[in-house]
Amino acid sequence: MMNTPISDPIGAAWLVRYASIELVSPLYVSSSIGGRRQTYKDGDVIHNAYQETARPLDTIIAHLQFHMRHEVLNLELLVRLFEQIGANDVQAWVNAEPTGSYARRMAFLYEWLMDKHLEVPSNIGGNYVDALVTKKLVTSSPSQVIKNARWRINDNLAGTRHFCPMLVKTEAFTQAAALDIATMVDKLNDEFGQDLLMRASVWMTLRESKASFTIEGEGKELKRIERFADVMARRTGTGDIPLDPESLAELQQEILGSKTVIQQYGVRQSPVFVSHTQVNGFKEIVHYIAPPADDIADKLEGLQVFMEKTEGQSALMRSAVASFAFVYIHPLADGNGRVHRFLINDVLRRDQVIHEPIILPISQAIAEHPSDRHAYDKILDRVSVPLMKQIRDHYSFDKQAVTYPDGIRSNLNFGNTHLIQPAWRFMDLTPHVQYLSGLIAHVIEKEMHNESQYLRKHDHARLAIKEIVEMPNSYADRIIRSMLQNKGAKSNKLLKDYPFLANDEVWDDIFSIVVETFKDEADGLNS
């Protein structure tokens, strides 16, 4: 993704060069002076080339104003710039233009971002204007906008200064956020009927739990799988959204159970990072370092505020933000990945685009194929890779580990967290919405459709088999499963348990039903 123009930048790119700023979040619009007016697109990124007459004055304020007027505001950039230059330039700007909308907006943003006060000119005036441009960025829902009389600004930031995710309304983002999940599920219901779809959902809930553990390399822990499936079935969409410390502690306890190394449930009190150990077993490769424990409460509160302020907006967008923001904040000592994927269904249920007992098998879709898992890892890398690039020389591992109050031992030493705070505070989750939209469309149109279709065929085969030999449903189910798994070969165990299958005519008749019913699903199954 292009981050700055190559030469003669203006606007945000000029500010980046001027202050030697390295951004984690991308510039979705970058600008430069060129021979003629041109626009280039690189994926979601737009680069505008302007003629010489459009060049701003060679001052910070002039380029800030250009950035506000012509580009997509980047809050990480503003924080990093203000940390270097202080308040003087913004104060001088608003003093010179006390009724100017751009000066007042920037004065408001300076105070909001930096938690510091400017002097309000006595002749401040002008109509109320939005802090952020709603056409360009996701902002608070209209009912949640706050009037800031100090600067005559509509405070429409959908978060807090401690955590306010950025979502840019690119064409791809807008299309992704508009995914009509409810209609897609309704089409499944129309095709297969409510009863069959509900049965499929119950089965997929268990498979979703299993797949969630598979993603974390723990796919054979039967009791843990069943426990997580039960949590998903009972807790999805119920009570308050589990982002406050009490709700998180309760959810974590239900997910992990009583046998765990952590000494207290809830928000961690220890540092955490995501890594893997090289094959030789000696060197640990760090993929991501999460915010320090002291910051978690503020970041979770910011995420809660985002969910409150965006109520009524795209359920898919809100689901993506809640789940991916959670995994980047990584507030728990254990169980973050499971809660992250739980939140996808939880928010969709709360926003009433899916209904009980339907659970979208998100984890299963991720874990199904190596390419799907790779795509999931790549979307997590959109934040983690540029973030780690900035801090790779600023963390280390001590020889001695420290035991923290939550029982976790860690030897991570990372004291320069201020270097990356702006990225943690204003992380760009635009691509995550696009990713989740594609994943959910795949889940509904393929995974859930196929599962429902399989169940319908299974019901048909069961009824046909019972016409040949009267038997309990469980017998027929096991016979179907064995014939499919063994590709028609007679299992000695099956013959021992069901002696009537030793009759070749009975076996052949039943097998013919299975072959005919599942001919599209079972490769190598021949009558």
* 3-state per-residue secondary structure call for 471-501: CCHHHHHHHHHHHHHCCCCCCHHHHHHCHHH
In the chain, the amino acid numbered 217 is G
Let me know whether 108 and 53 are in one domain: no
Q: Is the pTM of this model over 0.85?
A: yes
pLDDT of residue 1: 45
pLDDT of residue 223: 75
State residue 278's pLDDT score: 52
Q: Mark whether 191 and 229 lie in a shared domain.
A: yes
Range of the domain at 488: 447-517
- CATH of residue 378's domain is 1.10.3290
What's the pLDDT score for residue 247? 93
Q: Which residues contact 243 (CB under 8 A, 6 or more apart)?
A: 300, 303, 304, 307, 322, 326
pLDDT at 416: 86
Q: What kind and span of H or E run contains 289?
A: strand 284-289
What pLDDT score does 298 carry?
97
Residue 298 CB burial class (10 angstroms; 0-12, 13-18, ≥19): middle
128 and 57 in a common domain: no
- Domain final residue pick, 375, 410, 437: 437
Given strand 129-130, what is the order of strands in its sheet? 129-130, 153-155, 146-148
471 domain residue, yes or no: yes
Is residue 524 in a domain?
A: no
Residue 150 included in any domain: yes
**pLDDT given for residue 71 in this prediction:** 97
Report yes or no on 165 lying in a domain.
no
> What is d(CA 425, CA 114) in angstroms, rounded to the nearest whole number?
12
Same domain, 495 and 457: yes
* pLDDT value, residue 5: 46
Per-residue pLDDT tens, the chain, 527 aa: give them: 444 446 899 999 999 999 999 999 999 999 999 888 999 998 889 999 999 999 999 999 999 999 999 999 999 999 999 999 999 999 999 999 999 999 999 999 999 999 999 999 999 999 999 999 999 999 999 999 999 999 999 999 999 999 999 999 999 999 999 999 999 999 999 999 888 888 887 777 776 677 666 666 555 566 777 788 888 889 999 988 999 999 999 999 888 887 777 778 899 999 999 886 554 555 668 899 999 999 999 999 999 999 999 999 999 999 999 999 999 999 999 889 889 999 999 999 999 999 988 888 888 888 777 788 899 999 999 999 999 999 989 999 999 999 998 888 999 999 889 999 999 999 999 999 999 999 999 999 998 898 899 899 999 999 999 999 999 999 999 999 999 988 888 989 999 999 999 999 999 999 999 999 998 765 556 55
Domain termination residue (choose one: 111, 130, 157): 157
- Whether 162 maps to a domain, the answer reads no
**Tens digits of residue pLDDT in 507-523:** 999 999 999 999 876 55
Are residue 300 and residue 427 in the same domain, yes or no?
yes
Using a CB cutoff of 8 Å and minimum separation of 24, what contacts does 230-233 make? 231/255, 231/342, 232/205, 232/208, 232/342, 232/345, 232/359, 233/202, 233/205, 233/357, 233/359
Q: Are residues 432 and 451 in the same domain?
A: no
Residue 279 covered by a domain: yes
Same domain, 205 and 275: yes
For position 215, what pLDDT does the model report?
Answer: 66
Domain boundary among the residues 413, 437, 461 is at: 437
Residues 250 and 131 in one domain: no
Whether residue 253 is found in the same domain as residue 359: yes
pLDDT in tens, 212-260: 666 665 555 667 777 888 888 899 999 889 999 999 999 998 888 877 7
Q: How many domains does the structure of the chain reveal?
A: 4
> 449-476: buried (b, 16+ CB within 10 Å) or exposed (e) per residue?
bebbbebbbbeebbebbeeebebeeebb
Residues 131 and 274 reside in one and the same domain: no
pLDDT tens digits, 247-279: 999 999 888 887 777 778 899 999 999 886 554
Q: Are residues 317 and 175 in the same domain?
A: yes
| Residue 20 domain-assigned (yes or no) | yes
Indicate whether 34 and 140 sit together in one domain. no
Residue 81 lies in a domain: no
Please report the pLDDT score of residue 240 as a whole number: 87
